[in-house]
Amino acid sequence: MSGLYVYILASPSRALYVGVSRSLVRRMDQHQNGPGHNYVRRHRIDRLVYFERIAPAIDAIRREKQIKSWTRMKRVDLIESVNPDWQDLSKSGLARGVG
C-alpha cells in the first residue's frame, strides 16, 4: 500500500509536533536518536501519540496541513479520541508492523 503516515509527537509536557513521513519507523528513529528537527529536539518531543496512514500521498500532505491549522485543543481531542492516556505508540507495540 502506498501512501504516507501523518503523525503527532508529544513531549512529557505535551508540546506537540505534527509531521508526515513515508516510513514511520525510520522517522521515529530520526526524531528519537538522530539530529531530528530543532523544535522537536529543543522541546524533547519524542513520543508518538497519534498516527494515521493516508494514500495517495497528496491527501496525506493535505491532512498534515489540515491538522497543523487546527487549534491545540482540536489536536488534543484527536489524540485523545484514539489514545486517551497519551501512551507512546512507538513503544507500546501498537505501531509495530507499520513502515
Contact indicator for 21, 7 with CB cutoff of 8 Å? yes
Domain extent listing, the chain: 4-92
Which of 1, 16, 96 is CA-nearest to residue 57? 1
12-70 pLDDT per residue, tens: 999 999 999 998 888 888 877 766 677 777 888 889 999 999 999 999 999 999 999 99
pTM for the full predicted model: 0.87
Cell of 19: 509531521
Instruction: Please check whether the domain covering 4-92 is classified as CATH 3.40.1440.10.
Output: yes
